[in-house]
Amino acid sequence: MAEENLTRLNKYLSEVGYCSRRKADALIEQGRVTINGAVPEMGTKVAPGDEVRVNGELIVPPKKDNVYLAFNKPIGIVCTTNPKEKKNIVDYINFPTRIFPIGRLDKPSEGLILMTDDGDIVNKILRARNNHEKEYIVTVDRNITQDFIERMSNGIPILDTVTRKCEVEQLTRNTFRIVLTQGLNRQIRRMCEYLGYEVVKLKRIRIMNIPLDVPVGKYRHLTEKELADLNSLLGESTKTEEGSLPGPNKPEKAPKTSAPRSRKTDRPLKKKEGFRKNRRQKGES
C-alpha cells in the first residue's frame, strides 16, 4: 500500500478526536490499543480499513458531512475538473475540499449548477429516466412566434431522437422560459437552431427544488430543508446505468427530414463541429 495512505497510530487517534498524541503514546505503551486484534509496536501505522480499538472499544472516524453547493456560473467558465482548462469551474470556486459539478452548463451559458462531493446524488440527478426538472430563461435572435412555442413544447428532432414534450412559455418578444426533464448535449441551442433561431443568452434558474438566488460568480450551501426536499424527490430515483435509458415514454426515433434552411442563403445549414448525431452525451441543455 502506498506510504501516503498510512497514518501513524498516535496521529490517527488524535485526528479522530479520541485523545492527544501524547496520551495515545501512553495507551500504546500500556498495550491498551490494538490494530486488527493485535497489539502494535510504537510507531506502527494505520491503513485505511484497519480496525483500531482502545480497551476493546472500536474507534471510528467521525462521519464526514458531504458538501452541496448552489453556484451561479458566469459565462466563460467551463464545467470540468480538468486542471489543464484554465477557466475550469473547480479552480474558479476555489473550495477548500474536492468537489465536482453535477452535470454541465455550456461555456457561453450562465446560471445554476450544483457542486458536491457526493457521487451517489450525482448519479441520481443525472439519470435520464428520473425526469428531474431544470428550468431556463432563453433569449433568441428574433421574434418568437406561436408556432415556435408549440413546436418547442411538443418535441424537436435532434441527435437522432425527438426531444421530450416540455413546458415552454413566452416572456417577451424574443425571450422564453423552458422546463426540461432531459439533458441532451446543447439541447436548447440545438432545438432553437432546428427552427431557425439562434440562442443569444441562456440562463438556468432552477434545478428541481433548488432556485438560483445568488449573484453571478457566487455560491451558497444548500439548506437542510432543501436537502431534505431534494432527497425526497430523489427517493424513487435510480442511480444505476439502467436508469440512463429512456423510460416507457421513450420518444420515437427522429423521422428523416430535410435540413432546415438558412434564412440568409436559403441553403441547408452546415453541421457545426461537435453537433454529430452520435454525440448524445449529457450536457448543458
Asked if 65 is an active-site residue, the reply is: no
What residues contact residue 184 under an 8 Å CB cut-off, 6+ apart?
A: 158, 159, 161, 163, 190, 280, 282, 283, 285
Kind plus residue range of the DSSP H or E element containing 231: helix 224-233
Catalytic residue among 50, 65, 91, 106: 106
Task: Give the Å distances, CA to CA, from 27 to 42, 68, 100, 284.
Answer: 10, 39, 40, 55
Q: Can you tell me the distance from the alpha carbon of 228 to that of 234, in angstroms, rounded to the nearest whole number? A: 10
Place of cell 490494538: 34
* Residue 157, number of CB atoms within 10 A of its CB: 18
Strands 175-180 and 134-140, sheet pairing: antiparallel
Are the beta carbons of 69 and 112 closer than 8 angstroms? no
Q: Can you tell me the distance from the alpha carbon of 193 to that of 184, in angstroms, rounded to the nearest whole number? A: 14
Catalytic residue set: 106
